[in-house]
Copies of this chain bind each other. A is one copy, B any other.
Amino acid sequence: MNSMKRRALLSLSAAAPLLATGCALATSHPATPAAAPTALRGTGDLGVVIERAHGALTLVDTSRREAIGRVEGLGDLSHASVVFSRDERFAYVFGRDGGLTQVDLLAQRIAARVLQAGNSIGGAISADGSLVVAQNYQPGGIKIFDAHSLELLADVPALTASGERSRVVGLADLPQRRFIYSLFDAEAICIADCSDPRQPRITQLPGIGRQPYDALLSPSGRHYIAGLFGEDGLAMVDLWDDAPRARRILAGYGRGQQPLPVYKMPHLRGWAVAGRHAYLPAIGRHEVLVVDTDTWQEVGRIPVAGQPVFVMARPDGRQVWVNFSVPDYHRVQVIDTPSRQVVQTLEPGRAVLHMEFTPRGESLWISCRDDNRVQVYDTHTRQLQASLAVDAPSGIFFTARAQRMGF
């Protein structure tokens, strides 16, 4: 293990006020006194952009490519993730400070908010839309909420063999009100069956490898893959097996080469699966790895302009877009998947933190934090289509995520 990697991870868990488990604070109040829109409108083309400095959301319309509103009062969004209700009306925002906020995109206000942990790293929603689950660092575990009321239904501590709390990472929804997640401090992957959400049943797969730090679910929901911080490889679970178990893949992942310093841990959620190949960020190297998802062997490496952070496939799989960690985070590169070549290098702005494709992939929205702009590109012509002023934008999330597994 190199210390650079460790430093990068630890920076993820900085800040955040500490709360005891029991003191979840339920509130339900409007945030800004916005004039609540009353005109009917569809929600399939809506999205939110995290304003990381102000704990606010900019609401966007991806058809008109413009901002349509703003919601404040969401706490510390220095690291935040979002899932959407099944009807695509409500966003659930998981903040760094343990805040879980239900935002009504139509009324443009906070519908409900709880401070559910001291330090949280994201969440998930069940396919039927009834349950929202938060994954927490502090205190380590998951919490299960009623998606409509944010009532706490179950608090499930994550425990190491010696009975201490473990941080939880890599939470994803599975079919039938189940959720899968990894325990950073316990070398384990857990599956929580919440068919009775007040009495979840937990199945633990032990010995999966040291320090899983993030994970992803393949688009089909079949493969769950956890990155291992404590060793050179990843843990993979085939969820279609009758008795799922973890096995090690890509053991030569780092190949023992002289590692570069790691400036930012790549997000596994950014893994792109296009056709039968997965494209993933090499840790600390200026490369994107190509992996055959039938054999889970590496079949190629593509040189890129920096240390990749998000490696995202356009929905049709024809292109993969890559952003980078500091000092190369003013660039975005486009890989053509059939030829595995970088076909374009763009400079959309300073401090590119996140990207999101429109559902059919005709546009890509890019957050440029230090320019206070979101840039929208036509993915076919790679021309700028729109430019929105947003204060310190980071994550961008569109409602179409409600229709997909593992988001």
Q: Which residues of A contact B (CB under 8 A)?
A: 38, 40-46, 62-63, 84-90, 104-107, 127-129, 175-176, 220-222, 240, 275-276, 294, 315-318, 338, 358-362, 380, 399-400, 402-405
Contacts and interface: CB of A to CB of B under 8 A. Distances in A.
Stoichiometry, as copies per complex, reads: 2
A398 B250 CA distance: 39
A361 B294 CA distance: 23
Given A362-B127, A400-B403, A86 B220 contact: no
Contact of A86 (B63, B87, B275): B63
Given A222-B318, A403-B403, 15 more contacts: A38-B38, A40-B89, A40-B104, A42-B85, A42-B90, A44-B44, A44-B84, A45-B129, A127-B361, A127-B362, A175-B361, A176-B362, A276-B294, A360-B404, A360-B405
A90 to B, nearest CB: 7
A380 B176 contact: yes
Contacts of A275: 220
DSSP class of A's interface residues: helix, strand, loop or mixed? loop
Contact of A89 (B41, B87, B294, B315): B41
A275 B221 CA distance: 11
B221 A44 contact: no
Given A88-B43, A88-B88, A127-B360, A317 B402 contact: no
28 contacts: A40-B40, A40-B89, A40-B106, A41-B87, A42-B88, A42-B89, A42-B90, A42-B105, A42-B106, A43-B44, A43-B88, A44-B87, A45-B87, A45-B88, A45-B129, A63-B129, A127-B360, A127-B362, A175-B362, A176-B362, A220-B318, A221-B316, A240-B318, A276-B276, A315-B405, A359-B403, A360-B403, A360-B404
Contacts of A317: 220, 222
A181 to B, nearest CB: 19
Given A240-B338, A361-B175, A86 B44 contact: yes
A68 to B, nearest CB: 12
